[in-house]
Amino acid sequence: MTYDVTIVGAGHNGLVAACYLAKSGLKTLVLEAREVVGGGAVTEELHPGFRCSTLDHAVGPISSQVVADLNLARHGLEMITPEARVLALAPDGRALCIYDDVGRTVSEIEKFSANDAKSYPEFVNSFSRIGRVLAPLLGMTPPSIDQPTKTDLWHLGKVGLAFRGLGKRDEYRLLRWAPMAVADLVGEWFETELLRATVAARGIHGAFAGPWSAGTSLGLLWQAAMDGSAIGSASYPKGGMGGLTQALANAAKAAGAEIRTSARVSQISGAYSDKPKVVLDGGEEIETRVVISNADPRTTFLNLVDPIDLEPNFLLKMRNYRAPGVVAKINLALDGLLSFRGVDDHKKLFGRIHIGPEIDYLERAFDASKYGEFSSDPYLDINIPSLGDPSLAPEGRHVMSVHVQYAPYKLKSGDWATRSEEFANNVFDKLETYAPGIRDLIVGAHVITPLDLEQEFGLSGGHIHHGEQTLDQFFTFRPLIGWAQYRTPLKRLYLCGAGTHPGGGLTGLSGANAAREIARDFKAGKV
């Protein structure tokens, strides 16, 4: 049987692309290496009776357009949005909670600094205004640099007009902020270290960069484009992250797509010709009119495609595409609810919990990974999803998801196989200082190192975003300049994953944008 479209990988972007393409009438097959669909967005049993989002713990946010187009609520998606976005903890037992509600946040900040409380509303409003101008870029195919089409120019013109509408002060801010180190940006707005570090965290999340690295403010601008706020979102689906991808899989199947799990692709061949083929581990060959890779760019071009099919120049650029992972994940099954020092109201724990109280703390944590060592004082981004969704753990018990940064993919001394226990103990020690007694509550733990991210989840270099999201790997440069429109040098091979614009995070937009371009090529008879 020949398929119109075969998608390698059932991450959320692969599933989004499958939904749109199957809906447009194309015979669509999705092949997923793991036994579950979802990629970064999966819920799995971590200990008998305890289920946790294995990797991601808060949704990007997912594009509202994608949710509406694919009718995800009808297919089972139910979102939980805590009032608190992030609770930041300080070592002296003080805590600062940032809510969606600006007034409530100002009252919290007032306990630390009257000046910061005064600055905060304008900080929020400015990012919200700028975010509205940038938002249309997310759902846009980046323009061709060499031969921009009329549509490219039209879209860019609209963004240009919106930019002019911002007014001089925000225009200047936007141009100035993008290349800035996030530590400088937050230093201009706030004097409280805890607030500075908590806001700056969005700029370094998942990045091989510290707050003093140039260009890290881009993460805040991109977050504002995605959901109007510079601070990371905290909402998650009922049933954990798998709730999102199960809804997408249901929508894809309802649209006619076929999904196969435990189907690892070992080779994409002949994609330069009219007869591409996908070969599975075990040798099965699948004929298809086009192949779409949801795997990251390095995996796609350096592992799945025969190098003979690619120009040496392209291969060289792809080898230089940077994807140095710095994140590990620890999921815990807890025998009861832990208590954090200085936190009296448990509702504050429903969003993200941030440990990384100062800019210098975050920079030092990055320093360690720069020199091939995991940080003894890591930046932790924590979520306790069972607080909002009791279905995840037995009554009175909890699951806790801990994103640990910085943990470099390549260790200078030893390796992950021999050092993961030491790494986990180091994280438990850090948690113990903020939540005394946590060790006694742990009944199960799942430690996922950057090497596991590569070997088990297919993420090259263990990079959580399929490659660094720096200015040189962004928008028209993602993954490479000249190849940012989801097409590749191989006529019948496309990309649809987070290594394409608009990049990492559970937005569904890489999948949606890619599907639009691919459907267009089918309609024009190009494939």
Dihedral sign computed on CA atoms, order 294, 482, 461, 400: negative
Whether the ω angle into residue 61 lies within 30 degrees of 0, i.e. cis, is yes
Site size toward ligand FAD, by CB under 6 A: 41
* Options 177-185, 215-223, 336-344, 458-466: segment touching ligand FAD (CB under 6 A): 458-466
Residue count of the chain, please give it: 527
User: CB of 238 within 8 A of CB of 354?
Assistant: no
- Residue 33 vs 174, nearer CB to ligand FAD: 33
Among 63, 294, 449, 485, binds ligand FAD (CB under 6 A): 294
* Options 120-128, 220-228, 293-301, 310-318: segment touching ligand FAD (CB under 6 A): 293-301
Q: Give least dist CB 356 to ligand FAD, A.
A: 15
Is 210 an interacting residue with respect to ligand FAD (CB under 6 A)?
Answer: no
- Residue 80 vs 102, nearer CB to ligand FAD: 80
**Distance between start and end Cα atoms, the chain:** 18
- Residue 115 vs 262, nearer CB to ligand FAD: 262
Q: Print the binding letters for residues 30-69 with ligand FAD: x by CB under 6 A, - otherwise.
A: -xxxx----xxx-------------xxxxxx---------
- Residue 15 vs 96, nearer CB to ligand FAD: 15
Q: Print the binding letters for residues 328-367 with ligand FAD: x by CB under 6 A, - otherwise.
A: -x--------------------------------------
Is 478 an interacting residue with respect to ligand FAD (CB under 6 A)?
Answer: no
520 contact partners, CB below 8 Å, separation of at least 6: none
Q: How far is CA 377 from CA 7, 232, 270, 361, in A?
A: 40, 21, 49, 8
> Helices marked H in 358-468 — which ranges?
359-370, 416-434, 438-441, 450-455
Dihedral sign computed on CA atoms, order 433, 437, 440, 445: negative
Among 3, 5, 6, 9, binds ligand FAD (CB under 6 A): 9
Q: How far is CA 387 from CA 37, 337, 352, 435, 448, in A?
A: 25, 9, 12, 16, 23
Is 264 an interacting residue with respect to ligand FAD (CB under 6 A)?
Answer: yes
Is 403 an interacting residue with respect to ligand FAD (CB under 6 A)?
Answer: yes
Q: How far apart are CA 497 and CA 297, in angstroms?
A: 8
Residue in 96, 86, 132 with CA at minimum distance from that of residue 117: 96
Q: How far apart are CA 53 and CA 240, in angstroms?
A: 5
User: CB of 2 within 8 A of CB of 288?
Assistant: yes
Q: Give least dist CB 118 to ligand FAD, A.
A: 31
- Residue 245 vs 476, nearer CB to ligand FAD: 245
Among 3, 4, 5, 8, binds ligand FAD (CB under 6 A): 8
* Nearest-CB residue for ligand FAD: 11
Tokens representing residue 513 in the block: 């944008």
Is 400 an interacting residue with respect to ligand FAD (CB under 6 A)?
Answer: no
Residue in 282, 305, 310, 283 with CA at minimum distance from that of residue 293: 305
Q: Give least dist CB 119 to ligand FAD, A.
A: 27
Among 208, 215, 505, 518, binds ligand FAD (CB under 6 A): 505
Interface with ligand FAD (CB under 6 A): 8-14, 31-34, 39-41, 55-60, 264-265, 294-295, 299, 304, 327, 329, 403, 453, 457-459, 464-465, 497-498, 504-506, 510
